[in-house]
């Protein structure tokens, strides 16, 4: 069994170069015609979920499809709640997870993480009046983009996040004890709670938050503080692979590195993550390391 940390696998692959076919492609360790069952999360566009045309889409889904194409395999997606992802992988119900998987020991122990394909941050989105109430004035104002260190303004407010997500875990360290925390099954339900007045604040993946704020439904809401990267709300994002299939893990890792070096990951992010130019560095694709002399 191959169990490694994501960056360790990246370094090992980059150092050895891996096996290649004559045309430079990654040789597939899979039997011809094999399909891979990939777990992802519904209702989390632009990261993953069902698009208005009824087709599955999103950045993590596109990355998984590109990896499957490199391996000559068919991707079959299984939609599930964030809390179920790692359990499904560890029990062999799925071959791979394509979602906002950040390497936290209690969640990802015993699974194989591919080299990171993105870096995730979270945003606290609140009603504009709350943001104004929380903003210090004068010399006490934090620098632009600072993380929200003091969320005392949320006392007595309803704060929403997705159950089993890193944002929900981060709430334990961010929200005051007097806040009411509501956990939903999907990101779409969190956004609906904001729109319909059932929640005052939400902790969301940065891409989901920015997409919401850029649409008309985000009118009347603003970001409270800067991107949240601590308290489990941020970090490198990787595909997670069945720990019992070492050959598959190595091939997935090589495929991610190739997609990154070719600029495919950056192109997918630009096409699918609706981020204004100023926000682009906050949801970056993990860049390749500089070539060694």
Query: Tens digit of pLDDT for each residue in 209-247?
Result: 999 999 888 999 999 888 887 667 788 899 999 888 899
Number of domains in the chain: 2
Residue 189 and residue 249: Cα distance in Å, rounded? 33
Residue 230 counted as domain residue = no
At 284 the pLDDT is 37
Report the sign of the C-alpha dihedral through residues 149, 185, 210, 57, in that order: positive
Helix (H) or strand (E) holding 223: strand 221-223
Strand locations in 58-157 (E): 74-79, 96-97, 112-113, 118-120, 122-127
- 5-14, 80-89, 132-141, 205-214, range with the lowest pLDDT: 5-14
Same domain, yes or no: 151 and 73? no
Question: With b meaning 16 or more CB within 10 Å and e meaning fewer, what string describes 211-236?
Answer: bbbeeeebeebbbbbbbbbebbbbbb
Report the sign of the C-alpha dihedral through residues 146, 212, 205, 131, in that order: positive
At 21 the pLDDT is 46
Whole-structure pTM value: 0.77
Same domain, yes or no: 187 and 171? yes
Same domain, yes or no: 183 and 276? no
At 14 the pLDDT is 30
Same domain, yes or no: 19 and 73? yes
Yes or no: say if 73 and 38 are a contact pair by the CB < 8 Å rule: no
Residue 100 and residue 95: Cα distance in Å, rounded? 16
Same domain, yes or no: 27 and 96? yes
Q: What is the mean pLDDT of the chain?
A: 79
Quick: pLDDT tens for 253-263: 999 999 999 99
Residue 56 counted as domain residue = yes
- Show Cβ contacts of residue 80 under 8 Å, excluding neighbours closer than 6 positions: 39, 40, 41, 42, 88
Same domain, yes or no: 193 and 93? no
In this predicted structure, the answer to whether residue 195 has a pLDDT above a threshold of 70 is yes
In this predicted structure, the answer to whether residue 147 has a pLDDT above a threshold of 60 is no
Tokens for 266? Answer: 């950056």
How many CB atoms neighbour CB 51 within 10 A? 12
Yes or no: say if 166 and 232 are a contact pair by the CB < 8 Å rule: yes
Q: Cα 228–9–23 angle (5° rounding)? A: 115
Residue 143 and residue 28: Cα distance in Å, rounded? 49
- Cα-based torsion angle of the residue sequence 110, 7, 68, 16 in order, rounded to the nearest 10 degrees: -110
Quick: pLDDT tens for 48-66: 999 999 999 999 999 999 9
Residue 136 counted as domain residue = yes
In this predicted structure, the answer to whether residue 150 has a pLDDT above a threshold of 80 is no
- Please identify, among 172, 192, 223, the residue that sits at the C-terminal boundary of a domain: 223
In this predicted structure, the answer to whether residue 144 has a pLDDT above a threshold of 50 is no
In this predicted structure, the answer to whether residue 162 has a pLDDT above a threshold of 90 is yes
- Cα-based torsion angle of the residue sequence 80, 210, 167, 67 in order, rounded to the nearest 10 degrees: 50
Same domain, yes or no: 112 and 239? yes
Residue 228 counted as domain residue = no
Residue 54 and residue 43: Cα distance in Å, rounded? 12
Yes or no: say if 181 and 175 are a contact pair by the CB < 8 Å rule: yes
Quick: pLDDT tens for 264-288: 999 998 888 865 433 333 333 433 3
- Please identify, among 223, 253, 270, the residue that sits at the C-terminal boundary of a domain: 223
Yes or no: say if 160 and 199 are a contact pair by the CB < 8 Å rule: yes
**What confidence category does residue 73 fall into, taking pLDDT thresholds of 50, 70 and 90?**
very high
Same domain, yes or no: 113 and 133? no
Residue 289 counted as domain residue = no
At 27 the pLDDT is 57
Tokens for 88? Answer: 């499904």
Same domain, yes or no: 102 and 140? no
Enumerate long-range contacts of 86-91, CB under 8 Å, 24 or more apart.
86/111, 86/240, 88/39, 89/39, 89/240, 89/241, 89/242, 89/243, 90/243
Residue 211 counted as domain residue = yes
In this predicted structure, the answer to whether residue 192 has a pLDDT above a threshold of 50 is yes
Same domain, yes or no: 115 and 136? no
Characterise 270 by phi-psi region: left (phi > 0), alpha (psi -120 to 50), beta (else). Answer: alpha
Task: Say which residue, 107 or 201, is predicted with more confidence.
Answer: 201
CATH of the domain at 217: 3.40.190.10
Residue 293 counted as domain residue = no
Same domain, yes or no: 49 and 177? no
At 259 the pLDDT is 95
Same domain, yes or no: 246 and 106? yes
Residue 141 counted as domain residue = yes
Q: For residue 196, what are the domain limits?
A: 122-223
Q: Which residue from 154, 170, 153 is spatially nearest to 162, judged by alpha carbons?
A: 170
């Amino acid at each position: 069994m191959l169990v490694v940390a994501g960056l360790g696998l990246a370094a090992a692959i980059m150092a050895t170069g891996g096996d290649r076919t004559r045309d430079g492609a990654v040789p597939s360790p899979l039997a011809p015609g094999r399909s891979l069952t990939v777990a992802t999360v519904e209702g989390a566009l632009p990261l993953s979920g069902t698009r208005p045309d009824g087709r599955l889409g999103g950045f993590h889904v596109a990355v998984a499809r590109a990896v499957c194409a490199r391996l000559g395999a068919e991707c079959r997606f299984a939609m599930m709640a964030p809390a179920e992802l790692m359990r499904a992988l560890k029990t062999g119900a799925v071959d791979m997870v394509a979602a906002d998987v950040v390497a936290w020991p209690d969640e990802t122990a015993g699974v194989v993480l591919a080299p990171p394909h993105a870096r995730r941050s979270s945003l606290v989105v609140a009603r504009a009046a709350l943001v104004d109430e929380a903003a210090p004035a004068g010399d006490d104002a934090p620098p632009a983009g600072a993380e929200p260190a003091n969320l005392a303004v949320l006392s007595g407010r309803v704060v929403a996040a997705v159950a089993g997500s890193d944002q929900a875990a981060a709430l334990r360290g961010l929200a005051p004890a007097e806040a009411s925390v509501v956990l939903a099954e999907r990101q779409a339900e969190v956004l609906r709670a904001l729109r319909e007045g059932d929640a005052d604040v939400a902790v969301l993946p940065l891409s989901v938050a920015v997409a919401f704020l850029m649409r008309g439904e985000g009118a009347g809401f603003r970001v409270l503080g800067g991107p949240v990267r601590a308290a489990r709300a941020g970090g490198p994002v990787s595909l997670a692979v069945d720990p019992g299939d070492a050959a598959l893990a190595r091939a997935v890792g090589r495929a991610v590195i190739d997609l990154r070096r070719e600029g495919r990951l950056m192109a997918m992010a630009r096409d699918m993550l609706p981020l204004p130019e100023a926000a682009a560095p906050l949801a970056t694709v993990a860049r390749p390391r500089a070539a060694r002399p």
